[in-house]
Amino acid sequence: MSEKIATRAAYGEALVALAEEYPELVVLDADLSGSTMTKGFAKAHPDRFFNIGIAEANMTGIAAGLAACGKKPFTNTFAMFAAGRAFEQVRNSIAYPRLNVKVVGSHGGLSVGEDGATHQCIEDFAIMRAIPNMMVLSPCDGPEMRLAVKALLDYDGPAYLRLGRLAVESVTDGAPGYRFELGKGAVLRDGGDVTVIAAGMMVQMALKAAEALQAEGVSVRVVDMHTIKPLDEALVLRCARETGCIVTTEEHNIIGGLGEAVAACVSAGCPVPVVRHGVEDVFGRSGKAERVLEHFGLSPEGETLLISDANSWSSKNKKPCAGGKCHPCI
């Protein structure tokens, strides 16, 4: 782990760095450029930056019009407003006609901290996953975020990109064999006993948990599933076959997010135990981000305990595979 930077900060840097290469790129913000980190782009390219004000639905409609004229708009606001307040416009004005708009939701998840439950968006993956034509991403660190922004500029279609508020350690730069590709997960750590499939900042926590469990003799594979939709089903099923147990972890409600996507894939293709780690269908709480995450068990310690329990149960109930085909373990 090297650089420590918030994914929202890396996102803002990427917009500025890629502006000359992509002259069609335009950035819209709902009066939050200091928080969404689009302020750098606004300063560098004021003719391509539009502060729409606190009017998220209007911003979304304008972005749709710009996309119809050949621009590559990125809309920016808090995740709560991107997925919540502007839902109808995202669905009908962007996704339905499959326009090339990137909807960016900053401050996603519980790590908003003191802003409290009203602004801790733990439903955005579920909402955006349910919209046809919509791609959903949650990069785990700064280097991955920069690669994601460039990949999205090359991708012709609607997508939702979640940004985080907290600075996080970089884990993808220098990871052996790491390669970023939309719709493809990345194995950051190999293991044979259990697979942890994580998104966003939970990837770092999963890696720390895997390190702790290694000392106990548990071999944990960690997958960075930066693209939640479309899910890398081939990788998920390979992990199910090879380790026989999967734990998903996300800074999101366990309903509708990464966990349910993985569980649906596994149940249809290779039934093995899947434990969904996330927010247990309740609203968040106000407090220091680290304390809030710990309260909901979203910490390296919380992951370590959950992975250990899942592995213990799975080890006692695993059935051997025959002929290369999975046997249900539950």
Buried b (16+ CB within 10 A) or exposed e, 133-164: ebbbbbbbbbbbbbbbbbbbbebeebbbbbbb
Strand blocks (E) in 111-180: 135-137, 159-162, 167-169
Q: CA-to-CA distance for 196 and 249, rounded, in angstroms? A: 7
24 has catalytic annotation: no
Say if residues 170 and 3 touch (Cβ distance below 8 Å): yes
Check 56, 144, 250, 260 and give the catalytic one: 56
For 42-64, give one letter per residue: b (16+ CB within 10 A) or e. Answer: beebeebbbebeeebbebbbbbb
Backbone angles phi, psi at 328, to 5 degrees: -55, 135
- What is the rounded (10 degree) CA torsion for 185, 186, 192, 194? -50
The pair of structure tokens assigned to 187 is 């194995």
Query: If we measure between CA atoms, which residue out of 275, 273, 284 comes closest to residue 303?
Result: 275
DSSP string for residues in 34-61: HHHT-HHHHHH-GGGEEE--S-HHHHHH
**CA atoms of 295 and 289, how far apart (whole Å):** 10
The label of the residue with tokens 């919209």 reads 131
Distance between CA 56 and CA 105 in Å, rounded? 11
Is residue 230 reached through a cis peptide bond, with omega within 30 degrees of 0 on the bond before it? yes
- Tell me the sheet residues that pair with 246: 195, 274
Q: Catalytic residue positions?
A: 56
